[in-house]
Amino acid sequence: MAKNKPIDSKFLKTVTVDIVAKYQRTVERMAKIVKTEAKNNASIEDQHTPEWLKKQGHPYKDTNIHKHPLVHKVSGNLSENIEIFKNKKNIEVGVDTAKVPYVEAVIFGIPGRLIPRDFLAYSLVNADKKLRQRFVRDMKKAVKDAGKNKYKKKK
């Protein structure tokens, strides 16, 4: 029966630092996936042009033309200003209201004028499978590669 050897604390610290660093990169990659999804959902180009919507009496005041909370591309300002915001504790995907002041009206709606279409939340839900795959793939690799070539035990 093999005896359990004590874990070398320097090695354990190296492995932990490796995994945390790779986790942070994974979260950044996941934010990019959500950003891409949000840009796609905020730049729909179909027959529902501003002119068509006007002729139809602006149907978004009463109902959603699409099954999902998608947003049509008019000027491109909304989709071009979807950003990843980082601070010490969080990474968020969103839109700067200083650059796109009408984004809250699109997301939350205006009673009697515009139904709410929260394309950001929809994008997060829609990207769920891709996010899970990215996380699992990166974390498996992080655990497998942790500590390699940075710390070698002396024989």
Walking along the chain (155 residues) 10 residues at a time, the average pLDDT comes out as 63 71 88 95 78 74 71 85 92 94 91 87 94 90 70 49
**pLDDT at residue number 21:** 79
Strands 82-86 and 91-95: antiparallel
CA separation for the pair 12, 146 (Å, rounded): 10
Please report the pLDDT score of residue 155 as a whole number: 47
Which pLDDT score, from 0 to 100, does residue 119 have? 93
* Nearest partner of 38 among 74, 5, 69, 62, judged by Cα: 69
110 DSSP 8-state letter = B
Q: Is 87 helix (H, G, I), strand (E, B) or coil?
A: coil
Q: What is the pLDDT of residue 39?
A: 95
Q: Which residues contact 78 (CB under 8 A, 6 or more apart)?
A: 42, 43, 71, 95, 100, 102, 103, 106
Say if pTM beats, i.e. exceeds, 0.85: no
**What contacts 102, CB < 8 A, 6 or more positions away?**
78
Q: How far is CA 97 from CA 32, 104, 107, in A?
A: 20, 8, 12
Angstrom distance (rounded) from CA 71 to CA 119: 7
Give the span between the Cα atoms of 115 and 109, in whole angstroms. Answer: 5
